Amino acid sequence: MEAKKTGPQNPSEIPMHYNKLRQEYGQIFKVIIDLEEEKKEHLLVKEAMKDLEKERKCWRLVGGVLVERTVGEVLPSLEGNVEMIEKTLAMYNEGLKKKEKDIFEFEREYGLKSDTKKKPEEGKTEAKMTGVLA
């Protein structure tokens, strides 16, 4: 049996494959940012509710519908949601590290240089060359 090659088959496919890897990395990174924001929101609500009486009424948005609950019912599910988000974040962070490794290996294998590794002087010359058109 032959081992399947996952990389580009010819030189013209190298940039397309590299851009695909970078896009996948960006998508994973965006999901991580979204999950971090959702976790912050959950923790903010949890912090606001922790000192309230357990029998106090509160409203929870479930599938676009506001549902009446008590603080005692909502807090445990809120804590469960935070734990689930943390587990999901760990999984995505692992995937991000793997994708970063794949990109690095691809760059090394094909002799590519990443855009993010620009020299500081390059950024300065671009800023000096820009001006205002009147």
Helix (H, G, I), strand (E, B), or coil: what is residue 1? coil
- Rounded Cα gap, residues 99 and 28, in angstroms: 9
Distances in Å between the alpha carbon of 63 and those of 34, 66, 67, 91, 115? Answer: 18, 8, 10, 25, 41
Residue bearing tokens 């988000």: 85
Model pLDDT for residues 41-97, shown as the tens digit of each residue? 999 999 999 999 999 999 999 999 999 999 999 999 999 999 999 999 999 999 999
pTM: predicted TM-score of the whole model, two decimal places: 0.76
pLDDT band at 8 (very low <50, low <70, confident <90, very high): confident
Give the residue from 25, 40, 28, 35 showing the smallest Cα distance to 87. Answer: 35
Residue 27 CB neighbour total at 10 angstroms: 11
Model pLDDT for residues 19-46, shown as the tens digit of each residue? 999 999 999 999 999 999 999 999 999 9
What pLDDT sits at residue 78? 96
